[in-house]
Amino acid sequence: MEMTGAQVVVECLLEQGVDTVFGYPGGTILNIYDELYKYQDKITHYLTAHEQGAAHAADGYARSTGKVGVCLATSGPGATNLTTGIATAYMDSSPVVFICCNVGQKMLGKDAFQEVDITGISMPITKTNYLVRDVDKLADTVREAFGIARSGRPGPVLIDITKDVTAAKVDYEPIPQEKHSRTGALGKLIRRSSTSSLLRPEPDQKDIDILVDMIKESKKPMLICGGGVTRSRAHEEFREFARKVDAPVAITLMGGGAMDGADPLATGMIGMHGSQASNRGVDGCDLLIAVGCRFSDRVALKPDSFARNGKIVHIDIDRAEINKNVQTDHHIIGDAKIVLERLNEKVPQYDHSEWKEYVFSFPTETKYDLDENGVMTPKEILATIESMVPKDTVVSTDVGEHQMWAIQHFHFSYPGQLLTSGGYGTMGFGLGAALGAKAGNPEKTVIHITGDGSFRMNCNELATEEFYKLPVITFIFNNGVLGMVHQWQDLMYDKRYSQTILDRGPNFVKLAEAYGMKGARVTNIEELQTAITEALEEQKEGRGYLVDCAVATDEMVRPMVNGGTNITEFLLN
């Protein structure tokens, strides 16, 4: 049947099972928005306050549902406003398809109004991208983009379409998703790794057998649960593997929820702000098995001495990650879920009680002294929140001290429960991501944990929250400073607090009220409990809520290991 390019785009979204998109319109993408107007009964569009908010919302939707997120924007500043969100998704391997429209073909390269080379700009931060100048290739391009975004190591893909292509006519033949070519209709390569596969690569059985023998020889095994376990939804297989090996499990920032934080084998977070149990366990083990972990500089702070007393085994879907940061003794290339299934078939039950007793002799969480002035500690705040919200509550964070506190003290129990910017460290990620999660999981409670610095970044998305009745409960850890940077200045810059004091507005409770929501400023646990009770009641009515929590300015994230040192050289305990 004959359709315009804009119709083809929307029909292809329906082929992919898309029913939710986030975005912001503009001149070059108006043809697509005109078609979306006609498809309102099939696709829900959320208009955000800013394109960056739309990007984070699509990302949060993807992470929390396991589906591919979709984000739309116009050319020029609309497209470039997406780039922080694209990079965030790329660093954390989140599958999002970004669709932009550019000026007409005859105007390309002429510095036309709102023209930008978004494919050139986004090349390093996407798995692949496209500039569509031929309407005959449009449908296959969209299909392939979704295939690449969701398969192998997931990640963002960008499609830029010239405006005249969205208006041009073409014969369109619908193809159900299950009949799409596995290798991609256009044969596009994935830039992220020259050897990446569009499929889930099957592991080599010989590599599996080698690891089985290594486990047999080990007396002090340790596991790392990384983001790859989360992305693959391999949590059940990973937990079975951990129980069979009977090994303590350290959890990366992106692995939160893949291993239940309350599991008896969980030692807490690893790395710069990792627990003593995690860091000392990794340092003392004779065999370290890292699953879906890329050994970033916040985990392997000093690569040469990382797990220095043991052999390192790396399981990852992306061959490009192997030996990139840490030299391994053995590796297995494959999807975490498949690899763990194969291992569980081969690994017998072990008992490493003596080793576990040693590892768990160290703290798995930070202990806080009660403030003599009654100021709430981060652990008190998070323990109170966790005790009062439903167990399956989705938690979105921004970046900073509050982020580390949340990972340390909130016990995440399933993949997609924790939404955080781990690789890129994007302040302002949290609220948009929370809204995307709520759109994708309307039956769940969604909370947003942020700091007074991060919240200023994208607090304009309160307008989106209120208008669409996407009730999110925002908790601000308000210490009056840019906390993490302030902490570094305190410890390493002789207390020269250059531009980190936030002695200025707004009044966050009044800001929430300006957007039609209630809020409360709390200074003790009793006030916090009252606020949470009211917030949960407001949520039932489709209204969000903001809780401004007073935190001591000098409260720090502990433990802390300085960059470039061994993970047991704690600067703070």
User: What pLDDT digit, counting tens, does each position of 369-409 carry?
Assistant: 776 567 899 999 999 999 999 999 999 999 999 999 999 99
Vertex 341: Cα angle to 337 and 343 (nearest 5): 120
The contacts of residue 105 (CB under 8 Å, 6+ apart) are 133, 162, 164, 165
Which helix H or strand E contains 409, and what residues bound it?
helix 401-409
Check: CB of residue 377 under 8 Å from CB of residue 402: no
How many C-beta neighbours within 10 Å does residue 192 have?
18
Question: Largest Cα–Cα distance in the chain?
Answer: 74
pLDDT of residue 186: 55
- Tell me the C-alpha distance between 214 and 164, whole Å: 60
Q: Which residue shows structure tokens 């309350």?
A: 262
3-state secondary structure (DSSP) of residue 451: strand
Considering the domain 378-557, what is its CATH architecture? 3-Layer(aba) Sandwich (3.40)
The contacts of residue 326 (CB under 8 Å, 6+ apart) are 295, 300, 303, 306, 307, 312, 314
pLDDT of residue 192: 43
Full 3-state SS string of 149-190: HHCCCCCCEEEEEEHHHHHCEEECCCCCHHHCCCCCCCCCCC
Q: Domain map of the chain by residue range?
A: 2-179, 205-359, 378-557
Check: CB of residue 170 under 8 Å from CB of residue 135: yes
Sign of CA dihedral 302, 307, 309, 312: negative
Q: Which CATH class is domain 205-359?
A: alpha beta
Tokens, residue 476:
């601000």
Check: CB of residue 82 under 8 Å from CB of residue 71: yes
3-state secondary structure (DSSP) of residue 333: strand
Check: CB of residue 257 under 8 Å from CB of residue 238: no
pLDDT of residue 197: 41
Q: Which residue shows structure tokens 């050289």?
A: 569
- Tell me the C-alpha distance between 220 and 310, whole Å: 9
- Write phi, then psi, for 411 (nearest 5 degrees): -95, 95
Tell me the CATH number of domain 2-179, given options 3.30.450.40, 3.90.480.20, 3.40.50.1370, 3.40.50.970. 3.40.50.970
What proportions of the chain, in percent to the nearest 5, are helix, strand and coil?
Answer: 40, 20, 40
Tokens, residue 191:
């830039």
Topology alike, domains 2-179 and 205-359: yes
- Write phi, then psi, for 57 (nearest 5 degrees): -65, -45
Vertex 202: Cα angle to 201 and 203 (nearest 5): 110
- pTM listed for this prediction: 0.95
Which residues of the chain have a pLDDT value below 50?
A: 182-183, 185, 189-198
**Count helices and strands in the chain by DSSP H and E runs:** 22, 22
Q: Which residue shows structure tokens 């509550």?
A: 393
455: region left, alpha or beta (phi > 0 left; psi from -120 to 50 alpha):
alpha
Residue 501 DSSP one-character state = B
Residue 191 DSSP one-character state = S
Q: How does strand 169-171 pair with strand 2-4?
A: antiparallel
- Tell me the C-alpha distance between 168 and 101, whole Å: 14
**What are the catalytic residues?**
51, 113-114, 163, 484
